[in-house]
Amino acid sequence: MSLLKEELERNLNKPEVDKASLRKVAWVRKDLLGLQELSREELELILSTAESFKEVISREIKKVPTLRGKTVVNLFYEPSTRTRTSFEVAAKRLSADVINISTDSSSVRKGETLIDTGKNIEALKVDIIVVRHNYSGAAAMLARNVHASVINAGDGWHEHPTQALLDIFTLKEKLGRIEGLNVSIVGDIAHSRVARSNIWGLTKLGAHVTVCAPPLLIPVSIEEMGVKVTSDVEAALKEADAVNVLRMQFERDTENAFPRQLEYFKNFGITVDRLKHAKKNILVMHPGPINRGIEISSEVADGPNSVILEQVTNGIAVRMAVLFLVAQAHDQLRSKARTRGAKKI
């Protein structure tokens, strides 16, 4: 008899306390492509799972055997240090093997398509592909074409779910809740997948989100996502429990929509002076890499309100949770398929 049966036996006829440990919400997704399609319960499951992994990474031996024998490929079509390293560390903490493929040094240079690359990676018996791509929807397209689990590590301007999850995890850890919080996102909203994923996640969990940017960097009809919109940074900070400062992605400015760097700092930069008008304990977050003196001053980035480096630590816990959940769901889907196949015979 399996451990499951032992566990189920223990969980028969139990009152409330233990029903919580076998909640109805199970993770059934092979992939994590974005926060838009997730339910509130699924978001909460990821966050609570990440809490357990936070405990694991604070141990002396920061490693558990959970994904032993699994292989994770980091497939990055855009430069990334933080996210790729974070996924690599997360996978290694779960005892998975990790392969990094960056497109500078791969056959992509020779013209191979994303799907072909994905299928070739899968032919190497890889279990999970973590993909970053400059086209919105690239991760979803890959997920439709491979059996391996796909985790979106940022696709174009669309979503960057694990970044938003780690932002939300940090908020919850610091403030004890998400429901009812006022969260302002300041920066280049138009080009930001981080902003979009944060908006989906935060609003589903009951936070009030305000986005703040120069008018040209606010996408049309963003209000429909359930957020308040302003171009007055002091107004955005006034009631905020937390401010998520986004990097100005000057490399994406193809339409000359961006203000000059100094001009941006003057009008939107998060400085000690501006924070004087905000709540005393406002949390200052930033997905990194930070541009000091452009969207945030050094005093704030290194100051007492900043949780920027804690976000990096939490990123590992959150990514471990996501890797664990998709791997578990993937194995279960496969074993169900196997059982069905066996019955036919």
Partner 1 sequence: MLMKEKSRIMDKDGLVRTLTRMAHEILEKNKGTEGLVIVGVRTRGAVLAERLAVLMEEIDQYKPPVGVLDITLYRDDLSSIAQQPVVHKTEIDFDIQDKKVILVDDVLYTGRTIRAALDEIVDFGRPLFIQLAVLLDRGHRELPIRADYVGKNIPTSLKETVEVRLKETDGVDEVVVMENME
Kindly list the catalytic residues. 82-83, 110, 132, 160
In sequence order, what are the residues at sequence separation of 6 or more whose Cβ sits closer than 8 angstroms to the Cβ of residue 323? 67, 72, 87, 90, 91, 94, 96, 128, 151
For residue 191, what are its two tokens?
């080009």
For residue 189, what are its two tokens?
């909203």
In sequence order, what are the residues at sequence separation of 6 or more whose Cβ sits closer than 8 angstroms to the Cβ of residue 128? 70, 71, 72, 73, 91, 96, 148, 149, 150, 151, 323, 326, 327, 330
Q: Say if strands 71-76 and 97-102 run parallel, antiparallel, or are unpaired.
A: parallel
Using only C-alpha atoms, the chain has a radius of gyration, in whole angstroms, of 21
Q: Rank residues 45 and 211 by Cβ distance to partner 1 and give the closer one.
A: 45
Alpha-helix residue ranges (DSSP H) falling in 210-307: 233-238, 261-268, 272-275, 298-301
Q: How far is CA 172 from CA 104, 105, 163, 321, 345, in A?
A: 37, 39, 14, 16, 50
- CB 4, min distance to partner 1, A: 4
Q: Rank residues 8 and 216 by Cβ distance to partner 1 and give the closer one.
A: 8
Q: Rank residues 51 and 97 by Cβ distance to partner 1 and give the closer one.
A: 51
For residue 342, what are its two tokens?
């066996």
Give residue for tokens 């008008």.
Answer: 277
Report the interface residues with partner 1, using CB under 8 A.
Answer: 1-4, 6-10, 12-15, 17-18, 20-23, 26-27, 45, 48-49, 51-53, 55-56, 59-61, 63-66, 321, 324, 327-329, 331-332, 334-335
- CB 173, min distance to partner 1, A: 13
- CB 176, min distance to partner 1, A: 16
Around Cβ 120, how many Cβ atoms within 10 Å?
A: 13
Q: Rank residues 94 and 290 by Cβ distance to partner 1 and give the closer one.
A: 94
Maximum separation of any 2 CA atoms in the chain, in Å: 73
- Residue 313 half-sphere exposure toward CB, CA atoms < 13 A: 13
Q: Rank residues 210 and 314 by Cβ distance to partner 1 and give the closer one.
A: 314
Give the whole-angstrom CA distance, residue 164 versus residue 302.
21
Q: Rank residues 148 and 186 by Cβ distance to partner 1 and give the closer one.
A: 148
- CB 223, min distance to partner 1, A: 36
- CB 9, min distance to partner 1, A: 4
CA angle in degrees (0–180, nearest 5) for 43-324-206: 10
